[in-house]
């Protein structure tokens, strides 16, 4: 285990430390004296203090030392701006930045990329120079989507990584515990502070049988999402194991882990197996695969390890699924889908099929998709619906270009987009339907919340495997089941599509394509990172004010949000992405997608000071100008979706004090704490109903103490006596300092000064 094996081919001197991990794990093993799951082994082998750390699943806060940090361009801006304000010369933990989110799909890969480079020049220049300055690996626009690049170049079994993107768990396909965090957490790790995570529970998913036919790895996670729902993975790591794993490629495992984010899981991972070794070898990392083999006993669960919950899926019986619309956990097997379309009156005509993204753009995915497209072409037909292809990385793009899959997909009618997120994150200049027009699209992406892809709330977005997406695209209809139904060939004869086929890895090896990586230079002292004060896209950060030490009385409720309030509702993506580095400008999107329980409308709230109905950000700005703090009341799983800390920074910037909900999504709750806000939950969730949007509230902040409830005093707008509601929170001692000092960053800067 003492061998020196580099973590990645792109850096020098960062070795995989299985020896240290083993040592740390053995300390914990002696203390716990019981069998451990694989997820626990990874976490505990990265403990900052294995002797003293309190360890109880679902209870303790683990202080961890991740091996790596990864940031995408939309979140990296704010993370680096925050890191800069901590005043350190370089990052303490290997870090990479990936340019993928800011490239809008319009007319096709090359042109879209060139346009993005010019539109985003200021941001790319900032990222490129700050990465060079602070010793961060920089993947330029065109390199591909963060999670593919990580899988291809950086992930390895047994490692712990944090990434400022919710689909970071994709690297679980290579046995890495890769966890999506907010930028503020990344800043901690870049600055050499231990990273804190509430010890997750572990849900085991045992796979038996074998994948075959039209059933793809994606169907496993579509099924799991249906079973566990968007809330089911909250606070848990999903650990896949069992004999069925052998029939899943490494990239297929990546797909499953990637989409585990949709069920709120902390992360998902597979135990080390041969398909991982094969993938490591195919991506020039055979030595890592061999090294992992020598540590293999700790890269799986111990015999008799206990899971908090167990799910079992027989892959031989698993049907292809289609999930959606509007939520990724509405899972319908293909055999029942036609009926569901009819029953729910979902628009039958399929307008667009989209394959690729970080979730499903592997060589295998593209080969299988191309085999179906080829089948259609050989019958003289093409895609009936619009069809787009997003390669996940430059390496995938170059390889499928060389091996012919791209040509097939283009001949079939596909538009190949840039190696970037594109329509998956709303970077889509869609022109085939008008805003507000009900229509259906289907993608092999992971997330399908309202308006995410094209900012049209009437778009019914479904998610499925790339195989089904291509098949439905040929039919141009949701009423097609490729397993049972026939299509018409060019002469009007019936035919059935053949079962898709594809290779997991290219037999000729990968073609790396264009060089898109910028390594940090040796001499970094003279590099200048400039942010123009006139910029409307980048803004240096001012520290937030510390808590005044008092209770806050008579506060208005900015909005009582009803139903799903995702981070897309709180800080919308799409056109707003360009302001990710400018806190004041992006705050103009705060909560504009949340539904006001008072009127059932979005972005229309009642201003308590002047009685007018106005937009949410304008009302918050008005309160702020008048020196009035405010709160938000939220529903279940508030802040589900992505890791974007803007959803926490914005309410803080516009003068909010607390977000009070029935429950929170984990990342968002932590992000709120980091920014010095109070994420609080109703001890009795029914109390949500007792509060009216026009009520005023007192929050007894001075009661804040670990494990103790807080009081919300409600003054009903309709008159009558004030009443108290009990609130709960999950602050620990360290996190309470964040609130008191105004933010985690203020706390860090204070410690730095000392």
Residue from the set 28, 123, 421, 665 that interacts with ligand SF4 by CB under 6 A: 421
Residues in region 47-106 near ligand SF4 by CB under 6 A: 100
Find the shortest distance in angstroms from Cβ 749 to ligand SF4. 30
262 lies in the site for ligand SF4, by CB under 6 A: no
The distance of Cα 645 from the centroid of its chain, to the nearest Å, equals 12
207 lies in the site for ligand SF4, by CB under 6 A: no
- Cα–Cα distance measured from residue 198 to residue 177, given in angstroms and rounded to the nearest whole number: 14
Question: Which range of residues in 293-301, 440-448, 655-663, 717-725 is near ligand SF4 by CB under 6 A?
Answer: 440-448
Nearer CB in complex with ligand SF4: 147/666: 147
- Give the CB-side neighbour count of residue 427, counting CA atoms within 13 A: 26
- Cα–Cα distance measured from residue 639 to residue 569, given in angstroms and rounded to the nearest whole number: 8
Nearer CB in complex with ligand SF4: 270/449: 449
Please give the C-alpha separations between residue 183 and each of 75, 189, 361, 667, 752, in angstroms, as whole numbers. 6, 10, 26, 11, 19
Token pair listed for 322: 């289609």
Which run of H or of E encompasses 21?
helix 18-32
Query: Is 140 a known active-site residue?
Result: no
Nearer CB in complex with ligand SF4: 72/741: 72
Find the shortest distance in angstroms from Cβ 178 to ligand SF4. 12
Cβ neighbourhood burial of 89 (10 Å; 0-12, 13-18, 19+): exposed
277 lies in the site for ligand SF4, by CB under 6 A: no
Residues in region 349-408 near ligand SF4 by CB under 6 A: 357-358
Pick the catalytic residue: 29, 98, 101, 653?
A: 101
Residue from the set 145, 221, 276, 590 that interacts with ligand SF4 by CB under 6 A: 145
Token pair listed for 22: 């083993």
Question: Which range of residues in 202-210, 409-417, 439-447, 547-555 is near ligand SF4 by CB under 6 A?
Answer: 439-447
Please give the C-alpha separations between residue 632 and each of 565, 596, 695, in angstroms, as whole numbers. 11, 11, 12
Question: Which range of residues in 376-384, 418-426, 503-511, 656-664 is near ligand SF4 by CB under 6 A?
Answer: 418-426
Query: Is 100 a known active-site residue?
Result: yes
Find the shortest distance in angstroms from Cβ 146 to ligand SF4. 6
Find the shortest distance in angstroms from Cβ 180 to ligand SF4. 10
Question: Which range of residues in 33-41, 376-384, 419-427, 662-670 is near ligand SF4 by CB under 6 A?
Answer: 419-427
645 lies in the site for ligand SF4, by CB under 6 A: no
Find the shortest distance in angstroms from Cβ 145 to ligand SF4. 5
Please give the C-alpha separations between residue 483 and each of 76, 486, 490, in angstroms, as whole numbers. 44, 9, 20
Nearer CB in complex with ligand SF4: 147/569: 147
151 lies in the site for ligand SF4, by CB under 6 A: no
223 lies in the site for ligand SF4, by CB under 6 A: no
Find the shortest distance in angstroms from Cβ 447 to ligand SF4. 6
Give the largest Cα separation in the chain, rounded: 80
Nearer CB in complex with ligand SF4: 218/384: 218
691 lies in the site for ligand SF4, by CB under 6 A: no
Nearer CB in complex with ligand SF4: 151/744: 151
Which run of H or of E encompasses 294?
helix 286-294
Token pair listed for 671: 């992000």
Residue from the set 97, 102, 424, 691 that interacts with ligand SF4 by CB under 6 A: 424
Pick the catalytic residue: 130, 367, 465, 642?
A: 642
Which run of H or of E encompasses 201?
strand 201-208
Main-chain dihedrals φ then ψ at residue 485, nearest 5 degrees: -95, 160
Query: Is 644 a known active-site residue?
Result: yes
Query: Is 494 a known active-site residue?
Result: no
Which run of H or of E encompasses 439?
strand 439-443
256 lies in the site for ligand SF4, by CB under 6 A: no
187 lies in the site for ligand SF4, by CB under 6 A: no
425 lies in the site for ligand SF4, by CB under 6 A: yes
| Residue 15 per-residue DSSP state | B
Find the shortest distance in angstroms from Cβ 89 to ligand SF4. 30
- Listed as own residue / partner, the contacts of 146-150 with beta carbons closer than 8 Å and 24 or more positions apart are 146/70, 146/71, 146/72, 146/98, 146/100, 146/358, 147/171, 147/254, 147/258, 147/358, 147/392, 148/358, 148/361, 148/392, 148/393, 148/396, 149/96, 149/98, 149/393, 150/70, 150/96, 150/178
Pick the catalytic residue: 67, 73, 112, 165?
A: 165
Token pair listed for 616: 């949410």
Q: Which of 424, 417, 459, 430 is nearest to 445 (CA)?
A: 424
**H-assigned helices in 554-595:** 567-570, 583-586
Question: Which range of residues in 140-148, 225-233, 370-378, 428-436 is near ligand SF4 by CB under 6 A?
Answer: 140-148
Residue from the set 167, 201, 338, 560 that interacts with ligand SF4 by CB under 6 A: 167
Pick the catalytic residue: 606, 644, 653, 662?
A: 644
**Token pair 């980091």 is at which residue?**
674
Question: Which range of residues in 151-159, 421-429, 470-478, 609-617 is near ligand SF4 by CB under 6 A?
Answer: 421-429
DSSP letter string, 584-620: HHHGGGBTTTSBBTTTS-BS-EE-TTT--EE-HHHHH
Pick the catalytic residue: 67, 100, 185, 467?
A: 100
Nearer CB in complex with ligand SF4: 163/655: 163
List the beta bridge partners of residue 714: 697, 723
Find the shortest distance in angstroms from Cβ 510 to ligand SF4. 20
Find the shortest distance in angstroms from Cβ 295 to ligand SF4. 29
Residue from the set 112, 165, 319, 687 that interacts with ligand SF4 by CB under 6 A: 165
Token pair listed for 481: 């089941």
DSSP letter string, 43-98: HHTTBS-TTT----TTTPEEEE--SEEEEEHHHHHHHHHHHHHTT-SS-SS-EEEE
Find the shortest distance in angstroms from Cβ 168 to ligand SF4. 9
List the beta bridge partners of residue 413: none
Q: Which of 60, 63, 57, 126 is nearest to 97 (CA)?
A: 126
The footprint of ligand SF4 (CB under 6 A) covers 100, 145-147, 165, 167, 357-358, 421, 424-425, 445-447
Catalytic machinery residues: 100-101, 165, 447, 642, 644
């Amino acid at each position: 285990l003492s061998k020196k094996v580099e973590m990645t081919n792109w850096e020098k001197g960062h070795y995989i430390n299985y020896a240290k991990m083993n040592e740390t794990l053995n300390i914990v093993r002696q203390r716990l004296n019981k069998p451990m799951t694989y997820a626990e082994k990874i976490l505990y082998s990265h403990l900052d203090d294995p002797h003293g750390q309190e360890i109880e699943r679902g209870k303790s806060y683990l202080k961890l030392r991740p091996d790596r940090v990864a940031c995408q361009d939309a979140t990296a801006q704010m993370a680096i701006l925050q890191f800069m304000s901590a005043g350190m010369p370089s990052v303490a933990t290997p870090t990479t930045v990936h340019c993928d989110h800011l490239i809008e799909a319009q007319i096709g890969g090359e042109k879209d990329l060139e346009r993005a480079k010019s539109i985003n020049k200021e941001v790319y220049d900032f990222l490129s120079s700050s990465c060079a300055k602070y010793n961060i690996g920089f993947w330029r626009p065109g390199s591909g989507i963060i999670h593919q690049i990580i899988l291809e170049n950086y992930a390895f079994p047994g490692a712990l990584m944090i990434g400022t993107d919710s689909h970071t768990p994709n690297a679980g396909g290579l046995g890495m515990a890769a966890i999506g965090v907010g930028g503020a957490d990344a800043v901690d790790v870049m600055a050499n502070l231990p990273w804190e995570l509430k010890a997750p529970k572990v849900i085991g998913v045992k796979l038996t049988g074998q994948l075959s036919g039209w059933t793809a790895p994606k169907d496993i996670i579509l099924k799991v999402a249906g079973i566990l729902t968007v809330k089911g993975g909250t606070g848990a790591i999903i650990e896949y194991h069992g004999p069925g794993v052998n029939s899943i490629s490494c990239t297929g495992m990546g797909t499953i882990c990637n989409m585990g984010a949709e069920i709120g899981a902390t992360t998902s991972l597979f135990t080390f197996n041969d398909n991982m070794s094969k993938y490591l070898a195919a991506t020039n990392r055979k030595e890592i695969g061999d090294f992992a083999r020598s540590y293999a006993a700790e890269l799986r669960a111990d015999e008799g390890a206990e899971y908090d919950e167990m799910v079992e899926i027989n892959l031989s019986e698993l049907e292809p699924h289609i999930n959606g619309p509007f939520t990724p956990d509405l899972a319908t097997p293909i055999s029942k889908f036609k009926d569901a379309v009819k029953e729910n009156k979902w628009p039958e005509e399929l307008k667009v099929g989209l394959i690729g993204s970080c979730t499903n753009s592997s060589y295998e995915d593209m080969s299988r998709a191309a085999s179906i497209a080829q089948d259609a072409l050989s019958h003289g037909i093409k895609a009936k619906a619009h069809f787009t292809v997003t390669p996940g990385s430059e390496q995938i793009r170059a390889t499928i270009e060389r091996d012919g899959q791209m040509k097939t997909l283009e001949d079939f009618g596909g538009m190949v987009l840039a190696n970037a997120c594109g329509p998956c994150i709303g970077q889509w200049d869609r022109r085939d339907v008008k805003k507000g027009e009900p229509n259906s699209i289907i993608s092999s992406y992971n997330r399908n919340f309202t308006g995410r892809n094209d900012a049209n709330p009437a778009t019914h977005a479904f998610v499925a495997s790339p195989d089904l997406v291509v098949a439905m695209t040929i039919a141009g209809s949701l009423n097609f089941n490729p397993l049972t139904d026939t299509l018409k060939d060019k002469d009007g004869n019936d035919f059935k599509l053949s079962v898709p086929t594809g290779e997991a890895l290219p037999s000729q090896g990968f073609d790396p394509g264009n060089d898109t990586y910028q390594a940090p230079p040796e001499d970094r002292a003279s590099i200048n990172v400039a942010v123009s004060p006139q910029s409307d896209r980048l803004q240096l950060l001012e520290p937030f004010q510390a808590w005044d030490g008092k209770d806050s009385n008579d506060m208005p409720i900015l909005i009582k949000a009803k139903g799903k309030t995702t981070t897309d509702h709180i800080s919308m993506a799409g056109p707003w992405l360009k302001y990710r580095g400018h806190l004041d400008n992006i705050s103009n999107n705060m909560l504009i997608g949340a539904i006001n329980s008072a009127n059932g409308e979005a972005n229309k709230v009642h201003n308590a000071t002047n009685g007018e109905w106005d937009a949410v950000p304008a009302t918050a700005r008005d309160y702020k100008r008048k020196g009035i703090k405010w709160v938000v009341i939220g529903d279940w799983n508030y802040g589900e979706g992505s890791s974007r800390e803007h959803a926490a920074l914005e309410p803080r910037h516009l003068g909010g004090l607390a977000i009070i909900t029935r429950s929170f999504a984990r990342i968002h709750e932590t992000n709120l704490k980091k920014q010095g806000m109070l994420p609080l939950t109703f001890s009795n969730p029914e109390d949500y109903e007792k509060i009216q949007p026009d009520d005023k509230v007192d929050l007894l902040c001075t009661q804040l103490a670990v494990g103790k409830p807080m009081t919300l005093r409600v003054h009903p707008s309709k008159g009558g006596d004030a009443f108290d509601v009990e609130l709960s929170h999950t602050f620990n001692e360290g996190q309470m300092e964040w609130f008191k000092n105004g933010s985690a960053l203020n706390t860090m800067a204070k410690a730095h000064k000392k």
